A and B are shown apart, each in its own frame.
Chain A
Amino acid sequence: MTGSHSDRERRLADAFVSLADTLVADFDVIALLTDLTGRCVDLLDMTAAGLMLADQRGRLRVMASSSEQARMVELLEIQNDEGPCLECHRTGVAVLVEDIDRVREQWPQFADRAISVGFRSAFALPLRLRNDAIGALNLFHRDPRRLSEETLRVGQGLADVATIALLQQQAMRRSAELTEQLQLALNSRIDIEQAKGVLAERYQLEMDRAFDVLRSHARSHSVRLSDLARMVVRGEVNVIPPGSC
């Protein structure tokens, strides 16, 4: 969805201003990262976006995505074996695939899956921290596409917002180790996936619908997504999807 130039500038400014949210005491990093993937789709005119973070074993884990559909999650996770995201994480530089058809030989599994999901181009931008990439922002488009310098610059800026948000979690706490800061985010995501499972089973929902239900409940009750998720899994709280009996 594109608007006038000044409208886009305003939405872009909003994305950076959202970083101020990370300074409040009950800052919800998963919610912020999820919103950010939505902003990427909007501001960069993409079809989908997903954020991956490397854990202490070096495994790339899905932290947030513009779509919680299983096919999207699988496409992101397959990149632990091959694909632009893996290369981006290893090298620390952007990996731009303007036409996925052309990388079928190099990354057969990734290409197959991406094309079957409906994507024809893919761009992995590093979550830069000093000389490394702690993960990557993955952008997908339904058509083959070349990115302008401007789009790349804005995209990298949004990836940097994600990195800063992840490092802000423990800004108030004593421990300074990068690994610990990221552990918190990774563990929070596990809470959310477990809660999605609980709701999916209890109310026979698809996983992406289960996520939406959790997210709206968290928002309307001003609770962190992962805190709500943990309470749901432990049976301390029940979240009822609107329209269920």
Chain B
Amino acid sequence: MSTLIGRICDACVTSIPVTGAAVSASLTPGSRSTIHATDAVAARVEDLQLDLGEGPGTDAIRDRGPILIADLSDARSATAARWPMFTPAALREGARAVFAFPLQLGAAEVGLLGLYRDMPGHLDGSSHATALRLADAAMFALIDDGFTSSDPIDRDDNERATDENDFFRTQVFQAVGMMTVQLGVSAEEATVRLRAHAYAHDRPVADVAGDVVSRRLRFRPDSA
């Protein structure tokens, strides 16, 4: 039985020239846990960062943007200086190129998509675009799971894609902000609740957000 996150990781390997992929979920901002890895090396690259507290994924989350290293052993990319413990250890494991994509929605820190390749080389423009799309898919999969590894509500890919597109609207972000106050929860939790409410009531998330922002809908700590 495969999970959605597992399928997304597999899609990374088949549609992008990389050897392996791993997705981790943020437990609290700055601390994360691996949810799925396509192979032992991908898992190791993540574990190393969690153990050592340094690495491309850690920096990607902190700096709020992708970190793309075409060759860990290239002196010009200064990875040895940046990650003195991670770099040699990752090379020993067989990772030569590493690409880390933080999964974030503004202040909501959801997790990380980490890709590696056993040969050096950049990601070209189209691979980069594919990686960003798969990162988004992974992000929403994690949100729908409430950040656990179980399979989310069964929806078809088109529905999912439309929903994800609709999420990037001003009112949706504003509604999440309002809900953090209404519910007394983090931005991550508010995001989960907003999506869950939309699914439960079979309404587009942008419509629910519109109701929240115009104050027709209020979330209370005890409501579903």
B35 interface residue per 8 A CB criterion: no
Known: A70-B213, A183-B66, A194-B187. A200 touches B165 (CB 8 A): no
- The residue on B at minimum CB distance from A234 is B107
Query: Is B165 within 8 A of A197, CB to CB?
Result: no
A11 interface residue per 8 A CB criterion: no
**Interface segment, one of A53-61, A87-95, A142-150, A215-223:** A53-61
A contact residues around B64 at 8 Å (CB): 184, 187
- The residue on B at minimum CB distance from A55 is B168
**Interface segment, one of A33-41, A130-138, A174-182:** A174-182
**Per-position 1/0 for B158-169, Cβ under 8 A of A:** 000000010011
B contact residues around A202 at 8 Å (CB): 181
- The residue on B at minimum CB distance from A70 is B213
A contact residues around B213 at 8 Å (CB): 70, 197, 200, 207
Known: A73-B170, A190-B106, A193-B174. A198 touches B180 (CB 8 A): yes
Query: Is B107 within 8 A of A230, CB to CB?
Result: yes
Tell me the smallest distance from the CB of B76 to a CB of chain A, in Å. 10
Query: Is A196 within 8 A of B133, CB to CB?
Result: no
Query: Is B177 within 8 A of A234, CB to CB?
Result: no
Query: Is B107 within 8 A of A175, CB to CB?
Result: no
A195 interface residue per 8 A CB criterion: yes
Tell me the smallest distance from the CB of B65 to a CB of chain A, in Å. 5
A30 interface residue per 8 A CB criterion: no
Query: Is B178 within 8 A of A201, CB to CB?
Result: yes
Query: Is A233 within 8 A of B180, CB to CB?
Result: yes
Q: Could you tell me the distance between the alpha carbons of A173 and B77 in the complex, rounded to whole angstroms?
A: 11
Number of A interface residues at 8 Å Cβ cutoff, please give it: 37
B170 partner, pick from A170, A193, A234, beta carbons under 8 A: A193
Query: Is A200 within 8 A of B67, CB to CB?
Result: no
Tell me the smallest distance from the CB of B106 to a CB of chain A, in Å. 3
Interface of A, secondary structure class, is helix
B121 interface residue per 8 A CB criterion: no
Near A by CB (< 8 A), chain B positions 158-203 give 165, 168-171, 173-182, 186-187
- The residue on A at minimum CB distance from B181 is A201
Tell me the smallest distance from the CB of B86 to a CB of chain A, in Å. 16
A77 interface residue per 8 A CB criterion: yes
A contact residues around B125 at 8 Å (CB): 177
Tell me the smallest distance from the CB of B138 to a CB of chain A, in Å. 14
Tell me the smallest distance from the CB of B6 to a CB of chain A, in Å. 23
B187 partner, pick from A61, A179, A200, A233, beta carbons under 8 A: A233
B contact residues around A70 at 8 Å (CB): 171, 213
Query: Is B176 within 8 A of A194, CB to CB?
Result: yes
B29 interface residue per 8 A CB criterion: yes
Near B by CB (< 8 A), chain A positions 153-182 give 170, 173-175, 177, 179-180
B132 interface residue per 8 A CB criterion: yes
Query: Is B66 within 8 A of A180, CB to CB?
Result: yes
Q: Could you tell me the distance between the alpha carbons of A180 and B182 in the complex, rounded to whole angstroms?
A: 33
Query: Is A179 within 8 A of B174, CB to CB?
Result: no
Residue among B133, B165, B168, B174 with most chain A CB within 10 A: B174
Q: Which 7 A-B pairs have the closest CB atoms?
A: A197-B177, A190-B106, A193-B173, A233-B107, A194-B177, A197-B174, A201-B178
Assuming A197-B213, A201-B181, A233-B187, what are 8 further A-B pairs, CB within 8 angstroms?
A: A56-B133, A57-B136, A73-B171, A179-B129, A184-B65, A190-B105, A201-B177, A234-B186
Q: What residues of chain A have their CB less than 8 Å away from a CB belonging to chain B?
A: 55-57, 59, 61-62, 70, 73, 77, 170, 173-175, 177, 179-180, 183-184, 187, 190-202, 207, 229-230, 233-234
* Cross-chain pairs A/B with CB under 8 angstroms, 6 sampled: A59-B165, A190-B105, A193-B173, A193-B174, A229-B107, A233-B106
